[in-house]
Structure 1
């Protein structure tokens, strides 16, 4: 029905969905690494994600891929703006509550801002387009830092081997997903003067980069066994990577916003959902 489609589009394209992905990934970090951290951090990440993604899409004017998201955004600029301000207010409130961790939180805020800053139509930010060759690595690092590394700081813990294996595992899973996004958006990046690593490779080179990411993901995920993580947990962690590997040739030849922003983004939280729902 039409109203169901409208509700789903709102949930997905207003970035509520991706914000929930981030929160669920936080839960997994706490669960798997035995961390106890304030609920305020969950809210901070939720509102920060709402803020940053709506800011990004408010500034996005067009795309070679067209698609449902860019069309939805063009008709809902006011919605993006309202969600952006709601995200700012929520982020500030919970930043204040977590102010004892202000330095590490500010670093996350700065990294997040710099990702979208090249889209700001002001000369002060144009130079960032010239240094965006690591955009894919940059975005992957932000997600890994916020959902995997920062929880350790917030919990007042020190990194052990289990945490390092898990952070590396998550990094390469997200990196594999981001490679697909960059491959799809390569024409847009060229038009905007953003030089990414994917734009420097031919298609075979992108395939090799993706394969390297998947091998690294399997290696670091398997390494968790050396830190005492159960075999069933490791197998669950591997499931989204295995799905990503097999969906890669399909996704590479698709521009479907629902495939990318619902299915591929959802792979980041899939293992967390399985851990929460399965009786292990």
Structure 2
């Protein structure tokens, strides 16, 4: 494998792509709410996303959550440890008012992979409910924390933004759920496993409609912002239409997760 392909594979496998997606949505929240970007919070969210996703992907299967055998996975583990150290630094320089919310969100993220008790199940095993849990966590990191950091009053616009972000995350998760429906354990009863691909897509179409409708519920949005959100709703709809049980290798892990990154790039010009 050539080094560009190896680098791209590591970029995806080490969760750098999904971390960029999360921090991009954080940036969109800052721009939407007219809050100056806090680099420390953005850096913490980026680094902690890498650590969390790599732990979920590799730590759960590792012995005692940390002992991995494959050299490639050890490389990702070392990268994750370094990223964790940077995340701790960013955490310590953040306002103390953010510490408790961050700890709660981080604990919730950890319980997604680690069981509550030694003989109990983790939150990931909740099947159809897990996508709602993931969406809540993403909303917490990409909307709730920026709002707290910016000392904004929780008003109607922020409530709408949180709901719209929740809907968007649910929508972006569906292609992954459909892709993994034959890999996930039958006991999980994910949405595609329980209701089938077609009904899951219909649920997604309603999410697209809900996302589009919420755009007009926020006061004082520019025409450019409204059009941008409508375009991204259309992009998400196209992705959902093209979602199949058998997907190309990078359809969900790169293209679908790339939608928030593209959104963040577009908002650089607003």
- TM-score normalised by the chain length of structure 2: 0.87
1:163 to 2:158 alignment: yes
Match of residue 246 from structure 1:
238
Match of residue 174 from structure 1:
169
Query: 1:40-119 maps to which residues of 2 (within 5 A)?
Result: 40-59=40-59, 76-98=72-94, 99-117=96-114
Hey, what's the Cα distance between the residues in 2 that align with 1:128 and 1:19? Answer: 21
After TM superposition, the runs of 4+ consecutive aligned structure 1 residues lying more than 3 A away are 122-125, 127-133
Hey, what's the Cα distance between the residues in 2 that align with 1:209 and 1:74? Answer: 39
Retained in 2: the 8 A contact 1:54–1:83? no
1:150 to 2:145 alignment: yes
Q: How many residues align?
A: 262
1:222 to 2:184 alignment: no
How far off is 1:113 after superposition?
A: 1.1
| Range 44-53 or range 28-37, more displaced | 28-37
Hey, what's the Cα distance between the residues in 1 that align with 2:135 and 2:220? Answer: 26
Note the residue ranges of structure 2 that are not aligned, 5 or more in a row: 62-68
Retained in 1: the 8 A contact 2:51–2:81? yes
How far off is 1:130 after superposition?
A: 5.0
What do the CA deviations read for 1:102-131 (whole angstroms, capped 9, x no partner)? 11111110121122226x9x9445354553
Match of residue 70 from structure 1:
none
Match of residue 261 from structure 1:
253
Match of residue 274 from structure 1:
266
Hey, what's the Cα distance between the residues in 2 that align with 1:210 and 1:54? Answer: 27
Hey, what's the Cα distance between the residues in 1 that align with 2:16 and 2:191? Answer: 29
1:126 to 2:126 alignment: no
Secondary structure, counterpart of 1:77 in structure 2? helix
Secondary structure, counterpart of 1:109 in structure 2? helix
1:163–1:262 distance in 2 versus 1, CA, 3 Å: same
Selected match of 1:187 from 171, 182, 188? 182
Hey, what's the Cα distance between the residues in 1 that align with 2:259 and 2:241? Answer: 16
- TM-score normalised by the chain length of structure 1: 0.84
| Range 202-211 or range 150-159, more displaced | 202-211
How far off is 1:37 after superposition?
A: 5.2
1:82–1:56 distance in 2 versus 1, CA, 3 Å: same
Note the residue ranges of structure 1 that are not aligned, 5 or more in a row: 62-72
